[in-house]
Structure 1
Amino acid sequence: MSDYLSKLCTAFVGTEQLAAGSLIDVALAIKAAEGDRADASILVFDDATGSVVDLDLRGTTAEVVVRLSERGKRETAAARTQTASDTDAEPRGRGRPKLGVVAREVTLLPRHWEWLSAQPGGTSQVLRRLVDAARRSDGGQTQAKAAREAAYRFLNALAGDLPGFEDTIRSLFAGEDRDFADRMNAWPPDVRRHALKLATGSCPPRAPQEPDPTIR
């Protein structure tokens, strides 16, 4: 199964969770519930980013599967083409293995280039070491920021009209986890539960995962 079809998503009917799992499973669950919720507004969210996923569920179940599978193939092919192009753009020495190296343009000031050129191992190796060191010293801040932004995207799409929304979002970005959770106590439980999962980064990017029963 392609990355596109296997990425984790969660579907909501209004403020009630309808389905969660891989994109293909969520799409089929929505299709199966179509008759009972013909007039309902259904939104599907990417668990990794909190963004709304646009799904074309017209036609029969078989047609939906074919359409999603074809899109998955296109996205996989495009990603492979981009990776191959980026990797080939960087010259390789004799016997150098392909380790997923991706070439990108880097813009630096003259003093930066001067410092890099004086370091042992070459510019690329120095930059990699600097990036790795920054990641180790980051203390999870980048991941925490991404999790808060994912929670915001989800809440902005689904909970903008709920009471105390603005104060809740302020608590989210201030890193006041307890206050953030407390301000959602009166909100629909499925919305609160999923927002907490996103905000704490407990929604993995790929492998399927059941909703966390410990979050209330």
Structure 2
Amino acid sequence: MYTAFENKLIIAKGNIEEVVLTIKKRIGLSNHTMALIFDDELGRTIDIDFSGTIEDVRQRLLVFVPKETKETLPGPGRPKLGVISREVSLLPQHWEWLALQRGGASVTLRKLVETAKHNNPFHGQPRFYQDAVSQFMSVIAGDLPNYEEAMRMLYRKDKLNFFAQIKSWPEDVRLHLKKMVTPIFVPDKQKKKKLI
């Protein structure tokens, strides 16, 4: 999901296409906007070229969408599972090892990716979310009062003082931050319950 802010007010929320096209409709043929588009998971801004028509902008969004394979009629073999083919470069010994695995290279690579996602020391951990919030705050709130103290409270995981520091900030910024920091301020007991 993505969120667009303009003058610290939310002007669009949704997938990348919905957000970008909402902004493009607002600015018309102009390619200038003060809007900032954020990736809600990573807290990073996304740069978009708004020049040209709505269709021009829509075409440039294709880099955000995985390349689709051609539609084919059902036939013999396995059904399509939404798998996207891409090239992978490995050393010969890696290909040899993959060839020996049950299910073949594709199945093994998918399993390895899923295992890595679950074992990632950052994703799903407070530090991952803190860094995302920090990215967002540095862009949208760096000029707001108590910014530095709020950042310290974020990394200390001090919920009460964090919200005390941002209480005078614009409402849309506060509400967006409230959603972003939720995984950081989950009590340890609740974290354990989620794991069970």
Do Structure 1 and Structure 2 share a fold, with TM-score over 0.5?
yes
Contact 2:3/2:38 (8 A) holds in 1: yes
Per-residue deviation, 1:183: 1.3
- 1:51 matched residue in structure 2: 44
**Amino acid in structure 2 at the alignment position of 1:159:** A
Query: In the alignment, what sits opposite 2:107?
Result: 99
Q: Count how many residue pairs are aligned between Structure 1 and Structure 2.
A: 162
Q: Which residue of structure 2 aligns with residue 85 of structure 1? A: 89
Corresponding residue for 1:42? 35
Match of 2:136 in 1: 154
Amino acid corresponding to residue 66 of structure 1 in structure 2: Q
User: C-alpha separation between the residues in 1 aligned to 2:163 and 2:51?
Assistant: 37
Does the Cα contact within 8 Å between 2:4 and 2:19 map onto a contact in 1?
yes
Distance change in 2, residues 1:39/1:142 (3 Å): closer
Q: Counterparts in 2 of 1:1-216, with a 5 A limit?
A: 8-35=1-28, 41-69=34-62, 71-72=63-64, 80-81=85-86, 84-86=88-90, 89-90=94-95, 91-94=97-100, 96-97=102-103, 98-101=106-109, 135=119, 143-201=125-183
More contact order relative to length (CA 8 Å, sep ≥ 6):
1
Shift of 1:141: 8.7
Instruction: Give the C-alpha shift of residue 38 in structure 1.
Output: 8.0
Question: Cα 1:95–1:58, aligned 2, differ >3 Å: closer, same or farther?
Answer: same
Q: Which ranges in structure 1 are unaligned for 5 or more consecutive residues?
A: 1-7, 103-123, 203-216
- Superposed CA RMSD: 3.5
SS in 2 for 1:85: coil
What displacement does 1:191 show?
A: 0.6
- The 2-side partners of 1:39 and 1:48 are apart by 26
Tell me the percent identity.
27
Could you tell me whether the CA contact under 8 Å between 1:87 and 1:100 is conserved in 2? no
Residue 201 to residue 47, structure 1, CA distance change in 2 (3 Å):
farther
Q: Name the CA shift for 1:34/1:16 in 2 (closer, same or farther; >3 Å).
A: same
TM-score (normalised: structure 1): 0.63
Distance 1:154 1:43 in 2: 10
Distance 1:95 1:161, change over 3 A: closer
- Runs of 5+ unmatched residues, structure 2: 70-83, 185-196
